[in-house]
């Protein structure tokens, strides 16, 4: 979805910086691409580009947890049980929402909420808790699928269901709705 949003942003005439983890997808030609390999790298990339952005769209499903002590080598199989300690990953979207008021340039922050139950309730809580300008809610059925239904909400509007459509169609609709907010010239 991030790549579809980047392409839709470019087609709408915006400059786009795409922060991306390794994938088989080809990034849009005119996007500035920043490659990352970990949640920590993604956080650092967002922080370094945040000041100059007008609109941050966080479509990535960054893991909620990361290994406390990653191994630099392969862990060999043994007969012993293995326990991995996980620590919370830095919440990039929360950081962005909490810090947007510190910048003179207005920021529009759009987040995604992948939920398996109480979808709209949980997504609306995320919208408020993370100080977002828009939230896009979807279900696990959207993972890896070419088409899905999405739900869109801003703090001032009721939920709107986007039609079941492919990612590029929904991405263009999302970009259009962001432009309608009047919060950014991204």
Is 93 among the domain residues? yes
109 is a domain residue:
yes
Angle at which helix 39-50 crosses helix 92-99, to 10 degrees, equals 20
Here the CATH number for the domain that contains residue 144 is 3.40.50.10300
107 domain-assigned: yes
Model confidence pLDDT, tens digit, residues 81-135: 989 999 999 999 999 999 988 876 678 999 999 988 999 999 999 999 999 999 9
* pLDDT computed for residue 104 by the predictor: 66
Boundaries of domain holding 16: 2-65+87-181
pLDDT score, position 71:
87
Instruction: Please indicate, yes or no, if residue 76 is contained in any of the structural domains.
Output: no
Q: Is residue 163 part of a domain?
A: yes
Q: Contact, 7 vs 174, CB < 8 A? A: no
- How many folded domains does the chain comprise? 1
Rounded Cα–Cα distance for residues 179 and 57 (Å): 13
Enter the pTM of the model.
0.88
User: pLDDT digits over 135-174, tens only?
Assistant: 999 988 877 788 889 999 999 999 999 999 999 999 999 9
Does residue 59 belong to any structural domain of this protein?
A: yes
């Amino acid at each position: 979805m991030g790549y579809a949003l980047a392409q839709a942003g470019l087609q709408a005439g915006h400059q786009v910086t795409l922060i991306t983890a390794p994938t088989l997808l080809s990034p849009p030609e005119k996007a500035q691409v920043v490659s990352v390999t970990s949640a920590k790298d993604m956080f650092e990339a967002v922080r370094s580009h945040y000041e100059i952005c007008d609109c941050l769209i966080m479509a990535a499903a960054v893991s909620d947890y990361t290994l406390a002590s990653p191994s630099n080598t392969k862990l060999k199989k043994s007969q012993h049980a293995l326990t991995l300690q996980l620590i919370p990953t830095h919440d990039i979207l929360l950081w962005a929402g909490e810090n947007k008021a510190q910048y003179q340039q207005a920021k529009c922050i759009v987040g995604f909420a992948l939920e398996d139950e109480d979808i709209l309730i949980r997504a609306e809580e995320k919208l408020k808790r993370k100080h977002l300008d828009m939230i896009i809610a979807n279900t696990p059925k959207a993972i890896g699928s070419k088409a899905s239904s999405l739900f869109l909400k801003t703090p001032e509007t009721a939920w709107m269901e986007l039609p079941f459509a492919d990612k590029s169609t929904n991405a263009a609709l999302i970009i259009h709705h962001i432009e309608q907010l009047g919060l950014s010239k991204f």
